[in-house]
A and B are shown apart, each in its own frame.
Chain A
């Protein structure tokens, strides 16, 4: 065991991903995440944030490098062993990725598929303990009454809560969270981020959260990692994310509004931008 530092739940080393089109999405990424550590991954669109977390649970096959979950290598695993490792990594998606035509309860229980045989899952005969846990988690996120509603009948914020429940049903050690708030309004975004953070703390869960919203990342994460063109260009606590760092990640821009006016002002500005309908904004310009 070459590890010097103890208790790393995830270790990514020299990770490279080149797509068949020739695009180099990740070039030599090294990342170490401690148990219970919540990391926000920021960076411009196309920087490789999504590719990075998909390489961890191998929804995307990395080209080279190593991904270790709790010290165990994930990259070379065959399909059975890979499924076993995937159960330990819960994933939360941007567009919720619920199975729209199934009920909230079925979506929650789908987090247990990796632990359940085919015919049991076909006839929806999950162990009573799983059903009880699903009810408890749905209750925790305020959706107990919705258990028998179809997923497509829910609002965006409610759907993302179901997505969170599904990921937690796996009893994971690591959460991979891909743009959890990109489809949500500012208030719901904050509620969802707060919920994810609370649950991570309650359960000692580590998480990588891809996020576009720098203000949200600064507000909620303990550590921020900046990705640009497939390489890590910033890694540090939220306070050290200054204008120079943002320029290194995103390129030249006047960052004073994002950083200088403090959190409250930033939030208000966000809110204004996203909640005013386009028509009104255009009218304001005219």
Chain B
């Protein structure tokens, strides 16, 4: 009896896919390969290959002109670098202050109206996120003139959506029973927000804020390209005048700043639980 069962068990064939599924899988692979080949041909046609074969020499040439970095130039850079960090920090702070109410209005469990207010808040978030801070800066420089104020606002406008989105997702994941418990004491809506919900999302607010600040430091370094203040202005000037030793100083300084900001944000995120 048991031998019989064993024999039958051995006869049973198992395949990962049905024969039709196998065919479809092979077809999909073929399509991917074909698309790759065709795309490469198109890119190749649009490329001047002489320039590409030349690239190692050109790169080496540029590097030789960029080293040694002109360290004396750094003395001019401290002020714009300080502006850059301040733009990122103030912009992030502003975005957190604006992002919290937007998130409360957008989260399903705290919005006053799912049909009216929530779509509006979601639209604000999408609008802010879909426009790059460089483009925000371009627009703001036209409206309020060049300088760090335009950069700060550009950072803030871009970050509101980012912070609003991550925060409203955090609000939707809170423990609803803690909120019920605060409601059951006879607390007002404002007290339910500040006692039942805020303590639960406080670590998320700090974590998201620091994460965005870290991204904003990097974004702020290029805003000067369009005149919105910060070290980007010096970068653009140096590239335009082919002052490569200055460019290398700027890039090294930006690198150092970003490393420091990464370290700070990692420390903060580790500290909050």
Q: A: which residues have CB within 8 A of B? A: 57, 59, 83-87, 89-91, 93, 95, 97-102, 110-115, 118, 121-122, 163, 166, 170, 176
Contacts and interface: CB of A to CB of B under 8 A. Distances in A.
A166 B185 contact: yes
Interface in B168-194: 175, 177-178, 180-188, 190-191, 194
B46 to A, nearest CB: 57
Given A93-B177, A100-B199, A176-B184, 4 more contacts: A98-B178, A99-B200, A110-B185, A110-B195
27 contacts: A59-B180, A83-B187, A87-B186, A93-B180, A95-B177, A97-B177, A97-B178, A97-B180, A97-B181, A99-B181, A99-B199, A100-B178, A100-B199, A110-B187, A112-B185, A113-B185, A113-B187, A113-B191, A113-B195, A115-B186, A118-B188, A118-B190, A121-B187, A122-B194, A166-B185, A170-B186, A176-B184
Given A83-B188, A99-B182, A118 B177 contact: no
B191 A118 contact: yes
Contacts, number: 79
B207 interface: no
Interface of B: 175, 177-178, 180-188, 190-191, 194-196, 199-200, 202-203
Contacts of A112: 185
B170 to A, nearest CB: 13
B187 to A, nearest CB: 4
Main secondary structure of the interface of B (DSSP, over half): helix
Contact of B184 (A59, A101, A115): A59
A101 B186 contact: no
B194 A121 contact: yes
Contacts of A166: 181, 185
A170 B190 contact: no
A134 B159 CA distance: 42
Nearest to B187: A113
Contacts of A89: 184
A111 B185 contact: yes
Given A118-B191, A121-B194, A101 B199 contact: yes
B263 to A, nearest CB: 26
Given A97-B180, A97-B181, A102 B186 contact: no
A102 B199 contact: yes
A114 B202 contact: no
Contacts of B188: 83, 113, 118
A93 B185 CA distance: 12
Given A86-B186, A121-B194, A91 B181 contact: yes
Given A100-B178, A101-B202, A121 B185 contact: no
Given A59-B180, A118-B190, A87 B199 contact: no
A150 B26 CA distance: 58
Contact of B196 (A91, A99, A111, A163): A99
Contacts of A102: 195, 199
B180 A114 contact: no
Kindly name the residue among B191, B199, B200 whose own CB sees the greatest number of chain A CB atoms within 10 A: B191
Contact of A113 (B177, B186, B203): B186
A63 B176 CA distance: 22
Contact of A101 (B180, B185, B191, B200): B200
B236 to A, nearest CB: 46
A100 B178 CA distance: 8
A71 B194 CA distance: 33
B183 A59 contact: yes
Contacts of B175: 100
Kindly name the residue among A57, A89, A101 whose own CB sees the greatest number of chain B CB atoms within 10 A: A101
A101 B203 CA distance: 10
Given A99-B196, A113-B195, A121-B195, A83 B181 contact: no
A93 B175 CA distance: 13
B186 A98 contact: no
B181 A87 contact: no
A113 B203 CA distance: 23
Contacts of B195: 99, 102, 110, 113, 121
A166 B196 CA distance: 14
A84 B180 contact: no
Kindly name the residue among B177, B181, B191, B203 whose own CB sees the greatest number of chain A CB atoms within 10 A: B181
Nearest to A102: B199
Kindly name the residue among B183, B187, B188, B200 whose own CB sees the greatest number of chain A CB atoms within 10 A: B187
Given A99-B196, A100-B178, A83 B202 contact: no
Contacts of A83: 186-188
Nearest to B186: A114
A113 B182 contact: yes
